[in-house]
Amino acid sequence: MALALGSWAPARAEGGLETLMTNGPCGNRLDVVFFSEGYTSAECGQFSADAPSALEALLAKQPYTAYRSHFNAFAVFAASAQSGSDHPKLGIARDTYFNSTYDPAGDYVITIPETADGAGKLDALLQQWLPAFQTNRDLVVVLVNDAARGGSGGPRIITSKGATWEEVLVHESGHTLGRLGDEYEEPTPGFEHPGLEFPNVTTNTTLARIPWKVWIDPATPLPTPEDDLQYWDVIGLFEGANYSSTGWYRPKYDCLMRTTFSWSRFCEVCQEALVLAIRERVRPGEDFLPASTNLVVGLGQRLAFSVALVQPEGQTVRVQWCTNGMPVAGATHAAFVLEGAALAPGPHTVQARLEDHTAFVRSDPAGRLSQVQTWHIERIGLRLDPPRVLGGGDCYVRVSGHATGEVVLEGSTDLAAWQRLLTNGLEEGEWRFTNRCVPSHGFFRAVTTP
């Protein structure tokens, strides 16, 4: 086939990568990538407007707002031959890049095939544009250019541009990131999860067995009456969740995992799960210096340590520096200096202990809010006892202390020029020897080899 150059421009199948927001290295940020689905090449500009809107919609809800600096965001445009998506219930089929479709029963749940025709294309684009992206820790959002309401969570978020699509996107992120369950009670055949508990959905009614028990005031009745206004803003045990109006319970009267109105918010229990999910991916500290964790320091030397804190709103990450496991008073800044003179010769440790004291989390059994960086320090130092002159012209010398390498005994007659006499290692912190060459020098010193 011959191309008539200049007469037409072939539609670009992949429009490329657009960076929406960077806050740090991809390896220590939650990277979000928005993909276009059902946008024709003529609608590329529309996607360029929709992707940042979707990002801001996500970051407009807590706890994402507070943790905004923990995200990077990108957009990848892939042109579809036709606009929209398939609606099998309505007999509508459209030729789109990722072959998305609404479900045939409810015309709401949007999926793409987990094959080369769908997810495979998505993975190939990730490989091409964002090789550092990790599908098991980062977030893929497929924006479907269709006006009918719908979406899905799971390994990736899919959302259309139907009514309250921004809230649908945030709701689905609760499933994908926080592994949260649905708090609504309308039966939806095929989507019930019998016997499966979630951080925000349970069948347990005794306080000790409720996953969010630390959020429940002892005065709050369990189950919590739904028709009593005084409990609408507290955490309790409300019946109706997981597609069932009986036998399943949720933490709060309302939550984004239950309703997707523009004013809906995640309840405290769901916020906690999401902050733990963010902290699982984004550690509180990065750029630890020195980069090497095995260091040597001498008597008159000092070592400078530092860490960059990845702070949410409110600057809730704090650091405590410790030597040999003990906190150093006042050492709570991003930088710390260790004086060799403050340590006895021998092995030591320096630690930066970081913790996010966020109010979003009350229970952190896996320790995701804390981080410890440890450096191993060898404090080197030698002691040379005054040489003792023995009978027969011999001299007894003892060197003790701590060295990482060999120890050299040097002699001098004027304290200016030093001559290497003997080299040896310390055995259990000591080197004793008797030698005839020593008495010919007036002064001696022991030094470590570098």
Written as one letter, the residue type at 30 is: L
Minimum CB–partner distance for residue 198 and Zn ion (Å): 10
Nearer to Zn ion, 200 or 358 (CB): 200
User: Binding segment for Zn ion among 19-27, 157-165, 262-270, 297-305 (CB under 5 A)?
Assistant: 262-270
Minimum CB–partner distance for residue 201 and Zn ion (Å): 9
Contact status: 271 vs Zn ion (CB under 5 A): no
Minimum CB–partner distance for residue 280 and Zn ion (Å): 19
**Chain centroid to CA 262:** 28
Please check whether residue 65 is in contact with residue 83, taking contact to mean a CB–CB distance below 8 angstroms.
no
What distance in Å separates the CA atoms of residue 2 and residue 146, rounded to the nearest whole number? 35
Minimum CB–partner distance for residue 175 and Zn ion (Å): 12
What distance in Å separates the CA atoms of residue 179 and residue 334, rounded to the nearest whole number? 33
Nearer to Zn ion, 181 or 411 (CB): 181
Please check whether residue 161 is in contact with residue 146, taking contact to mean a CB–CB distance below 8 angstroms.
yes
If phi > 0 it is left, if psi is from -120 to 50 it is alpha, else beta; for residue 223 that is beta
Token pair of 333, please? Answer: 């800044």
Residue from 57, 110, 255, 331 that binds Zn ion (CB under 5 A)? 255
Minimum CB–partner distance for residue 111 and Zn ion (Å): 24
User: Binding segment for Zn ion among 261-269, 280-288, 306-314, 334-342 (CB under 5 A)?
Assistant: 261-269
Contact status: 257 vs Zn ion (CB under 5 A): yes
Residue with tokens 């200016």: 416
Closest CA to 395 of 383, 384, 406: 384
Residue from 168, 270, 317, 399 that binds Zn ion (CB under 5 A)? 270
Contact status: 168 vs Zn ion (CB under 5 A): no
Minimum CB–partner distance for residue 277 and Zn ion (Å): 14
Residue nearest to Zn ion (CB): 255
Nearer to Zn ion, 149 or 250 (CB): 250
If phi > 0 it is left, if psi is from -120 to 50 it is alpha, else beta; for residue 179 that is left
Written as one letter, the residue type at 251 is: P
Nearer to Zn ion, 58 or 408 (CB): 58
Contact status: 267 vs Zn ion (CB under 5 A): yes
If phi > 0 it is left, if psi is from -120 to 50 it is alpha, else beta; for residue 315 that is left
Minimum CB–partner distance for residue 257 and Zn ion (Å): 4
What distance in Å separates the CA atoms of residue 353 and residue 376, rounded to the nearest whole number? 15
User: Binding segment for Zn ion among 58-66, 197-205, 403-411, 421-429 (CB under 5 A)?
Assistant: 197-205
Nearer to Zn ion, 73 or 210 (CB): 210
Return the axis-axis angle of helices 165-176 and 44-59, rounded to nearest 10°.
60
Q: SS3 of 213, please?
A: helix
Closest CA to 56 of 83, 26, 32: 32
Contact status: 58 vs Zn ion (CB under 5 A): no
Q: For the chain, what is the total number of helices (H) and then of strands (E)?
A: 4, 25
The C-alpha R_g of the chain, in whole angstroms, comes to 32
Contact status: 200 vs Zn ion (CB under 5 A): yes
User: Binding segment for Zn ion among 8-16, 217-225, 268-276, 285-293 (CB under 5 A)?
Assistant: 268-276
**Residues 379-398 interacting with Zn ion (rule: CB under 5 A):** none
Minimum CB–partner distance for residue 173 and Zn ion (Å): 13
User: Binding segment for Zn ion among 232-240, 263-271, 364-372, 413-421 (CB under 5 A)?
Assistant: 263-271
What distance in Å separates the CA atoms of residue 70 and residue 336, rounded to the nearest whole number? 25
Nearer to Zn ion, 192 or 254 (CB): 254
Contact status: 241 vs Zn ion (CB under 5 A): no
Closest CA to 13 of 33, 28, 35: 35
Minimum CB–partner distance for residue 346 and Zn ion (Å): 53
Size of the site for Zn ion (CB under 5 A): 5
Judged by the rule CB under 5 A, the positions of this chain that interact with Zn ion are: 200, 255, 257, 267, 270
